[in-house]
Each structure stands twice: as structure tokens, then as C-alpha cells.
Amino acid sequence: MVVVADDCAIPRSKGETGARGVAGTIFVHKVARATAAAGKSLDEVHAMASLCNSRIWSLGVALDAVTIPGATTMNNRLEGNKIEIGLGIHGEAGIRQSKMMSADEIAKEMVDTVHEFGYKPLNGSGIEKIAEGDNVALLVNNLGGTSNFELAILTRSIVLYLEKVVKCKVTRIFVGALMTSFDMHGVSLSILSLDENNKIAELLDEASDAPVWCNADVWGQTMSERPSATLLPEVVVEPIAVSDVINETVSIPNFSNLAKAAISASCTALIENEPKLTEWDPIVGDGDCGITMARGANEVIKRLEGGMLPLESPSKLLAALADAISASMGGTSGIIFELMLRKASTYLMEAQKSGKVVDEALLSESFSEGVQAGSFYGGAKKGYRTMMDALLPASDVSAKGIKAILFAASEGAESKSRMNEALAGRSNYLSKEQLENTPDPGAKAVSIILTAIVSVKLFDQPKPI
């Protein structure tokens, strides 16, 4: 028999209860199974399981206690901004409660507690601690209600603390929900000090078909850097040739200044309206429209003020704006805006190759072409309750000038709040009641941009005689 007692929440000298067997048990099971699968005798399985068991110690931390199925009351002892350290997997109280900590602080608390507790090596006479240069394996175990995002952040903090402060070598990291407690929002840390002959490590590395067993991030002695810490090489994309036109002729008077003023005004308007867009988006979208729009606007302003936008060339300017959007916005709206800008830029380049001059009419055509590309690749049409309900009507009247474009876009954006059905985008998942009286944030963003452009009276200038 092998009795696992890896919990180090209470001192060894306190009472007769003894330590609990918690997530470190998983390591013992894995080693025992791999030894048996290798055809070893029962005595050899027992010996390896005992060796592993003697070198493990664990500690749990939780933000919320477990909800017991069928219980008539909720366990609310962790209400408020508190965490509990050393609680058990059945929800039993831990050694103490604390105010909320950061991931780095929690990692330090867990590692220090486990490290100071120490372990009793098999056939050893006393308590040992991890020494500088020792190899260890970690199990960062989800107690049931913790997101993968939180697990990853805490795991990083634990590994950094062990390697920089304790100065041991974390050669294997196992992260997942392997010993859970229903919905407990917490994590347990198990540290396994690997033996000098590397027998335990070899058994941990053996393949397993257990459904929730996770492959470890293995860091070998000959590796200079842990695989998960190695940045993937960036995919280098050759710059898009924004113009092959040697002399781009623009017949719009004062175009550079007008373009600069329009870009500045539209970006400022998006940033100022971020709270309203964000207010609408959680109702009919995923909640980040305002933040996404503001992020793109800030990037464009930074490039504008840094002299990175070729204001004298419409085709190059549109391509540069697409680059700025691509580098900052993300999300569906960012993709659609980038597609539109690149198509409009390409349209201007091709038109000029055939001898056309960039004037208001050609810019209007490029706008329409961009919108059509956004609709084609995005799949949305009029009436789908997306930003295309503002853009497509604007495109239809683009030949009539910027003010007609603005009116059509505004009407389209406002009409969306009266639509009780969506056929595309995240609004497609919502009911009539959820959609009612709430405009689409993407369409409203389009209206905000065009309103700002009109505010600088773009193209509303006297024609040259």
C-alpha cells in the first residue's frame, strides 16, 4: 500500500490528523501506471510509487469555496475580496484567509509554503528542501472553476519564482484539471523533486491514454530555453506595393491638409465616443467594439502625428491606413476596414495606370469599391444588422458627394436600432427583445467617422478655375 499525504497546509507537528492526500496523488498514479505498463513486478511498482510519493508536496489556493450538490446553503466564507490558502479539495477550510493577491504574490505564497515544508526522501532520516540546481516537475491543477487564462498566468509566475528565487530547474510542467472539486475557483500546486537517476522523469514522460492527462512542457538539460518560452518566428510578409504610379495626379485642391484634418477629426470622434460604443456593444455584440475602434484610432493618430502617413498620395494614404488598422484593431471590424481600405487603394492605383486623375468622382468610386469588397468577403448585406447597413447605403449614393454619403450612412445606422432581427455578426444570436432600440455599434462607428469627415467640409471647396 502507498498512502499519499502531500498536503503541506499544516505543520507536521500539529496534532494526529496527518496531511491530506491531494493533487500530488496524480503523479503517484502516473508513475505506478507507467512502471506497470513496462512489465515490472508489483514490488517494483510499489517501490517506484513510494519513491515518487516521498518527493511530492502540495498546496491549494482558492477565490471561492466549492458548491456542494444538493446543499441547502451556499458556502460563502470567501465573500468579498478574499482568498483562502491551504483549503482541501472537499471545501474544508484552509490554514488562513488573505486579501486578494496578484498572480506573482500568490505564486510566492504557494512556493514559499511548499518549499519551507520540505519533503522526506525515501529511506531518508530528515526533512530536505529543494536545493539550487535541483530538477523538479510541477502540476498546476485546476480545482474546477478556474479559467485556462488564469491558470497560464499563475503557472508563469510560479515557474519564474522557482527558477529565479529558489533557483531550481523546472524541467516538466503539467497544467490542467486533474483533481477537481466541482466548481471551486482555485488552483493547487504540486512540486515533485525528481530523483538523481531521472527514473521518475522517464516514467512521467511515458505516453498515457488517460482522458485528462496532459503532455508536459519538457525542458531538457541540453536545451537553452524552455519550449513554451520560445517565441514563434514572426511571419514576414513582403510589403504591399502601394503604388506603381510615378506621378500621381490629384486634382482636389489642398488635398493633404484636408486629408489630415479629416483623419484627425474622425479618429478623435471615435475615441470620444468609445464609452457609448462600448455601452451598446455588450447588449448586441461581444462588448469590445468601442475599445477596438479607439485602439485603431489611437494608432492612426500616432502615425499621423509621426509623419508616417503619405498625405500627398491618396492611394498610398489608403494603403498606409490599412496597415495601421491591421496592426492595431483586430476583430471583425478591423478586418472589414482593412479590406475596404486596401481595395480602395488598389482601385485608385489601377485607375491611374489607365491615365485617370484622382478627383472627387474617382475617390467616390474607390469608396464604393471598398465597401463592396467588405460586403463580399464579410458576407453581410443590407438588412443583416451589421456595419454594412450603414456602409452599403452610403456606397449607393457615393457619386452624389460626401454629404449624401453621410446622410445615407446615418439613416442606415439609425434604422438598425429599429430592426428586430439580425442575419449576421454576433447580433445573429440575439432575440427580438434584446435587439430592440439598440443600434449596431459598428454601424454607429461608421456614422461617427463620416460625420467627423463632413465636419472639416471635405471636398466642399471651390473648384479651381
Is residue 172's pLDDT more than 70? yes
The percentage of residues in the chain with a pLDDT greater than 70, rounded to a whole number, is: 79
pLDDT tens per residue, range 283-324? 444 556 778 889 999 999 999 999 999 999 999 999 999 999
Average pLDDT of the segment spanning 129-142: 91
> Can you read off the three cell numbers belonging to residue 209?
491514454
Q: Annotated active-site positions, please?
A: 90
pLDDT tens per residue, range 17-42? 557 888 889 999 999 999 999 999 99
pLDDT value for 247: 63
Is residue 225's pLDDT more than 80? no
pLDDT value for 322: 95
Q: pTM to 2 decimals? A: 0.59
pLDDT value for 383: 67
